[in-house]
Homo-oligomer: A and B are copies of this chain.
Amino acid sequence: MRSPIEFRSDNAVGVAPEILASIGEANEGGELGYGGDRWTTMLTERVREVFGHATARIFPVPTGTAANALALSAMTPPWGAILCHPDAHIITHEGGASSLFSGGAVMTAVPGEGSRIGSEQLRASLEAVTWGDPHESQPAVLSLTQPTERGTVYEVADIAELSRAAAEFGLTTHVDGARLANAIARLGCEPADVTWKAGALAVTLGATKNGGMSTDAIVSFDDSLSDELVYRTKRAGHVPSKMRFQSVQLLAYLADDLWLRLAAAANQSAQRLYEGLRSLDVDVRDEPEANIMFMRLDNEVIDRLEELDLMFYRIAPGVIRVVTSFKTTDAEVDETLVRFRTALSG
């Protein structure tokens, strides 16, 4: 009997053992609530080490949507605009959360190849603004998804350049890093390189898609932003009394490079799968730079792949999305290629 192989989402698989084990640790009492516990204190220290930033602060929140929208709401006035790619999760999949939390800020799409905002398009967009005119929503923050929703990765220099252009016009930069570890693993850089050293004021640090259980986080590199997030997280219902159960997960996640190891495994599986598919002449849209890839197939082939117990999402007629995870094994990849061969031979 064939067992199903999971490529629907990296959040469909379970929790990394190290993270699951951490939960037990936090189950001692005697700790203050709402982040006043020792694990949250330790987590702050760890984040500062990992990101090489002496005053960084971390705000554990349960979802990437909360992390994005709360950080953005503190980075734009209510009359501002958030610039992002038309494929950005904050536009397409967060139900207007950023507009809610910001008190009515809008999102303005800036295009670019491969779901990456283009440098020229960004400049063109910024130069077209009538600055200071209250009729126009005033761009206040640039949000970059790293890696992008399409599985591509911004180079360190790309982020720095975009962020610099934004800063010239008075914008700050936010990074939606729902899969940040996958980008860092790909680039082989330091966490600082792709975040604050490249100009980002705040980052969504995803964990759920990479072996976590019930937490993502905002990492802020700016004191006044951090001070504001204390209030914004609370009044959004995002400061649990037992925050320690989120903090221990993030402590485990950031310990001994676990986050980067899990991400590297997912990336490597995607690469292995991509190479096998190319040898089968499958039309994969981009070589995966992280752990996501899209491919174009006849609808009958897609049907047969589903019958063969491969699990993935249909994005459009003739297009599927495949996401590997830290749990994807080489054996699963190889078995997947066998099933593709079967399906393709019809």
Contacts and interface: CB of A to CB of B under 8 A. Distances in A.
A24 interface: yes
Contacts of A81: 96
A103 B78 CA distance: 8
A73 to B, nearest CB: 9
Given A61-B237, A63-B237, A246-B214, A96 B100 contact: no
A219 B336 CA distance: 42
Given A30-B4, A66-B237, A100 B97 contact: no
Copy number in this complex? 4
A32 to B, nearest CB: 7
B12 A66 contact: no
Q: Is the interface of A mostly helix, strand, loop or mixed?
A: loop
Contact of A234 (B61, B62, B92, B134): B134
A230 interface: yes
A11 B95 contact: no
A47 interface: no
A33 interface: yes
A249 B232 CA distance: 27
A333 to B, nearest CB: 16
A224 to B, nearest CB: 12
Interface stretch (A104-112, A147-155, A287-295): A104-112
Contacts of A245: 15, 213-214
Contact of A235 (B29, B96, B212, B228): B96
Given A62-B237, A93-B135, A97-B237, 15 more contacts: A6-B29, A8-B32, A13-B29, A20-B24, A62-B238, A62-B240, A63-B238, A65-B239, A66-B238, A94-B235, A95-B231, A100-B101, A100-B104, A208-B242, A214-B240
Interface of A: 4, 6, 8-9, 11-15, 20, 23-24, 27-34, 61-67, 69-70, 77-79, 81, 92-97, 99-107, 134-138, 208-209, 212-214, 228, 230-242, 245-246, 311, 327
26 contacts: A4-B30, A11-B33, A12-B32, A13-B29, A15-B27, A15-B242, A23-B213, A34-B135, A62-B62, A65-B234, A69-B237, A78-B96, A78-B235, A79-B234, A79-B235, A95-B235, A96-B106, A97-B104, A97-B234, A97-B235, A97-B236, A100-B101, A134-B230, A134-B239, A138-B231, A236-B236
